[in-house]
């Protein structure tokens, strides 16, 4: 269970995020959605320990230590010449010594294989496309085997195939590891398909939280995003959010 109580983040003396109370099941993926500037990154950064906050945060009645938390910020270009396999290896940095063991190398290849990135292992990071870099950085975070994985729009640079691939891998990762995944997403159809619980933010405030399939409604999307939209349903009864038009402010 993820619990936030009187959770408040101030930046430059201004309240940027204010969550009075949120309680969510962490048995599946937890999504964070909301318009630009609503506080999604602020929430993830403060949960990761990179921003101070007041109030309480609990994950299964405690809070993981910093080396049990993996955080991936919004897409940025890596300019390093570091090889892909070494970049992923750095995910295990707390366990590394002067000599890298066979076991550590094979763990790297395993995770690269799982993300279909093994062919890139010897390439330098700065030679990869933005989407390939995003996948490698995700592989690095997963290889840490974290208790809490915080991902800020991890699919923003990915094509449709890789978006589906990454989100399915995350879903199966939490089945086999004891990991809580919290993920900020812009794409509401993906959020509906791949998250179990949602935190919905607007202007730094919590609009709603709870089961994804209950929360994604036309009324709520209209209200939060100021758009007219239509919700269709897939064969698996997941919502497809079709944006129709932006509401004009009066
Ligand atoms: N370092 C900072 N200094 C001043 N204001 C900041 C800073 N970081 C964030 N903010 C403000 O806090 C608010 C929330 O920003 P945040 O980046 O969390 O939004 P977001 O929901 O992640 O947006 P986006 O979807 O555009 O990435 C915004 O009004 C933003 O301008």
The range of the structural domain enclosing residue 124 comes to 2-246
pLDDT tens digits for 132-160?
Answer: 999 999 999 998 889 999 999 999 889 99
38 close to ligand 1 (CB < 6 Angstrom): yes
Domain total of the chain:
1
Q: Got the DSSP string for 162-198?
A: HHHHHHHHHHHHHHHS--EEEEE-S-HHHHHHH-SEE
pLDDT tens digits for 155-200?
Answer: 988 999 989 988 998 988 888 888 999 999 999 999 999 999 999 9
State in Å: Cα 122 to ligand 1 middle.
Answer: 36
143 close to ligand 1 (CB < 6 Angstrom): no
Q: Is 226 left (phi over 0), alpha (psi -120 to 50) or beta?
A: left
Burial of 141 (0-12, 13-18, 19+ CB in 10 A): buried
State in Å: Cα 75 to ligand 1 middle.
Answer: 15
Confidence bin at 50 (pLDDT 50/70/90): very high
Q: What is the DSSP letter of 205?
A: E
The CATH number of whichever domain residue 101 belongs to comes to 3.40.50.300
CA distance 50 to 48: 6
Q: What is the DSSP letter of 27?
A: S
State in Å: Cα 26 to ligand 1 middle.
Answer: 25
| CB-based contact 148:179 (threshold 8 Å) | yes
User: Taking Cα atoms as reference points, which of 119, 41, 112, 127 lies closest to residue 78?
Assistant: 127
| CB-based contact 41:88 (threshold 8 Å) | no
Going 161 to 162 to 165 to 168, the CA torsion angle's sign is negative
Which of 20-24, 100-104, 166-170 has maximum average pLDDT? Answer: 20-24
Determine how many CB atoms are found less than 10 A away from the CB of residue 188: 23
Query: Partners of 183 in the beta sheet?
Result: 31, 151
Q: Say yes or no to pLDDT of 96 above 60.
A: no
């Amino acid at each position: 269970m993820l619990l936030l109580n009187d959770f408040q983040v101030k930046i430059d003396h201004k309240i940027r995020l204010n969550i009075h109370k949120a309680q969510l099941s962490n048995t599946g993926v937890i999504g964070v959605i909301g318009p630009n500037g609503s506080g999604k990154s602020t929430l993830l950064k403060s949960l990761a320990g990179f921003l101070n906050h007041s109030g309480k945060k609990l994950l299964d009645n405690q809070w993981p230590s910093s080396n049990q938390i993996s955080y991936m910020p919004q897409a940025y270009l890596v300019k390093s010449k570091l090889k892909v396999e070494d970049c992923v290896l750095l995910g295990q940095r707390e366990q590394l010594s002067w000599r890298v063991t066979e076991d550590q190398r094979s763990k790297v290849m395993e995770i690269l294989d799982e993300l279909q990135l093994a062919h890139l292992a010897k390439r330098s990071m700065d030679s990869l496309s933005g989407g390939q870099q995003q996948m490698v950085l995700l592989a690095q975070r997963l290889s840490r085997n974290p208790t809490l994985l915080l991902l800020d729009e991890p699919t923003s640079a990915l094509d449709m195939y890789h978006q589906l691939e990454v989100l399915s891998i995350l879903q199966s990762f939490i089945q086999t590891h004891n990991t809580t995944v919290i993920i900020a997403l812009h794409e509401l159809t993906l959020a509906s398909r791949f998250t179990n619980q949602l935190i919905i933010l607007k202007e730094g405030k919590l609009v709603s939280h709870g089961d994804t399939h209950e929360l994604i409604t036309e009324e709520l999307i209209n209200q939060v995003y100021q758009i007219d939209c239509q919700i269709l349903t897939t064969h698996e009864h997941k919502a497809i959010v079709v944006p129709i038009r932006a509401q004009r402010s009066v």
